[in-house]
A and B are shown apart, each in its own frame.
Chain A
Amino acid sequence: MAANAYSLATLVMRYVFVGIMIYILARIIYHSISEYQELHRALRWLKDGYARHIEFLPPYDTQEGGYVLVRSNLIGRSPRCDIYIDDRSVRRRHALLFEKGGEGYIRARGRAKIWINGQRPQKRTALLHEGDLVRLGQVEFHYKLKRTPWEEKA
Chain B
Amino acid sequence: MNRVRHMSALGLLFIVMLFELAAFALLSLRDGKFDVWALAFALALIALLFFQYVCLLWISRYADRFLLVIANLLAAIGMIVQYRLSPETAFRQLLLYGVGMVAMFVCVGLMHKPAVFRKLNWAMIVASLALLGVLLIVGKEQGGAKNWITIAGFSFQPSEFVKVALVFIAANYLTEQSGWRDWLPSAIFAILVCGLLVMERDLGAALLVAGTYLIIFYTATGDVRTTLIGLGAGCCGAVASYYIFDHVRARVAIWKNPWATYETSGYQIAQGLMAIASGGAWGLGLTQGLPKSIPAYNTDYIFAVICEEFGLIFGIAVITLYLMFIIRGALVALYARDRYLMLVAFGCTVLITLQSFIIIGGVIKLIPLTGITMPFVSHGGSSLIASMMLLGILEGIAMRNGDMLEDAMDQAMEQDRLANLSKGEDHAE
Set of chain A residues within 8 Å of B285, measured between Cβ atoms: 7, 10-11, 13-14
Is the pair A28, B19 in contact by a Cβ cutoff of 8 Å? Answer: no
* Known A10-B285, A14-B310, A153-B338: A25·B321 in contact at CB below 8 Å: yes
* B-side interface mostly: helix
Is the pair A18, B317 in contact by a Cβ cutoff of 8 Å? Answer: yes
A148-B420 Cα distance, complex, nearest whole Å: 10
Contact of A32 among B15, B23, B317, B324 (CB under 8 A): B324
Is the pair B9, A31 in contact by a Cβ cutoff of 8 Å? Answer: yes
Contact of B415 among A7, A38, A148 (CB under 8 A): A148
Residue B337 CB within 8 A of the other chain: yes
Contact of A13 among B26, B320, B337, B339 (CB under 8 A): B26
Is the pair A67, B2 in contact by a Cβ cutoff of 8 Å? Answer: yes
A42-B404 Cα distance, complex, nearest whole Å: 13
* A-side interface mostly: helix
Is the pair B7, A150 in contact by a Cβ cutoff of 8 Å? Answer: no
A15-B339 Cα distance, complex, nearest whole Å: 45
Residue B419 CB within 8 A of the other chain: yes
Residue B354 CB within 8 A of the other chain: no
A42-B407 Cα distance, complex, nearest whole Å: 12
Set of chain B residues within 8 Å of A65, measured between Cβ atoms: 413-414, 416-417
Is the pair A6, B32 in contact by a Cβ cutoff of 8 Å? Answer: yes
Is the pair B427, A42 in contact by a Cβ cutoff of 8 Å? Answer: no
Contact of B317 among A3, A10, A25, A154 (CB under 8 A): A25
A56-B415 Cα distance, complex, nearest whole Å: 18
Residue B238 CB within 8 A of the other chain: no
Is the pair B73, A24 in contact by a Cβ cutoff of 8 Å? Answer: yes
CB distance from B250 to the nearest CB of A (A): 36
Tier of interface size on chain B: 35 or more
Is the pair A49, B412 in contact by a Cβ cutoff of 8 Å? Answer: yes
Tell which of A3, A31, A149, A153 has the most Cβ of chain B within 10 Å: A31
- In chain B, what residue has the closest Cβ to A21? B317
* Known A25-B317, A64-B413, A82-B5: A17·B408 in contact at CB below 8 Å: no
Is the pair A150, B411 in contact by a Cβ cutoff of 8 Å? Answer: yes
Fill in one digit per residue for A128-145: 1 if any B CB lies within 8 Å of its CB, else 0.
000101000000001010
CB distance from B172 to the nearest CB of A (A): 18
* Known A9-B26, A22-B317, A131-B426: A35·B7 in contact at CB below 8 Å: yes
CB distance from B108 to the nearest CB of A (A): 20
CB distance from B81 to the nearest CB of A (A): 12
Set of chain B residues within 8 Å of A13, measured between Cβ atoms: 22-23, 26, 285-286
CB distance from B117 to the nearest CB of A (A): 20
- In chain A, what residue has the closest Cβ to B406? A42
Set of chain B residues within 8 Å of A70, measured between Cβ atoms: 4-5
Set of chain B residues within 8 Å of A31, measured between Cβ atoms: 7, 9, 12, 66
Contact of B413 among A6, A35, A68 (CB under 8 A): A68
Is the pair B331, A36 in contact by a Cβ cutoff of 8 Å? Answer: yes
How many A-B contacts are there with CB distance less than 8 Å? 149
Residue B11 CB within 8 A of the other chain: yes
A13-B404 Cα distance, complex, nearest whole Å: 45
Residue B228 CB within 8 A of the other chain: no
Residue B405 CB within 8 A of the other chain: yes
- In chain B, what residue has the closest Cβ to A72? B5
A46-B404 Cα distance, complex, nearest whole Å: 12
Tier of interface size on chain A: 35 or more
- In chain B, what residue has the closest Cβ to A2? B32
Set of chain A residues within 8 Å of B396, measured between Cβ atoms: none
Is the pair A63, B4 in contact by a Cβ cutoff of 8 Å? Answer: no
Set of chain A residues within 8 Å of B3, measured between Cβ atoms: 82
Contact of A64 among B29, B414, B427 (CB under 8 A): B414
In the complex, chain B residues 14-28 whose Cβ is within 8 Å of any chain A Cβ: 15-16, 18-19, 22-23, 26
Residue A127 CB within 8 A of the other chain: no
Q: Which residues of A are interface residues toward B (Cβ below 8 A)?
A: 2-3, 6-7, 9-11, 13-18, 20-25, 27-29, 31-32, 34-36, 38-39, 42-43, 45-46, 49, 63-68, 70, 82-83, 131, 133, 142, 144, 146, 148-150, 153-154
- If A22-B313, A65-B413, A133-B429 are given as contacts, then 20 extra A-B residue pairs at C-beta distance below 8 Å, sorted by A number, are A6-B30, A7-B288, A10-B286, A17-B310, A18-B282, A18-B311, A20-B18, A21-B317, A21-B318, A25-B324, A27-B12, A28-B12, A31-B9, A34-B7, A38-B5, A66-B413, A144-B426, A148-B412, A154-B338, A154-B339
Q: Which residues of B are interface residues toward A (Cβ below 8 A)?
A: 2-7, 9, 11-12, 15-16, 18-19, 22-23, 26, 29-30, 32, 66, 69-70, 73, 282-283, 285-288, 310-311, 313-314, 317-318, 320-321, 324, 327-328, 331, 335, 337-339, 404-405, 408-409, 411-417, 419-420, 426-427, 429
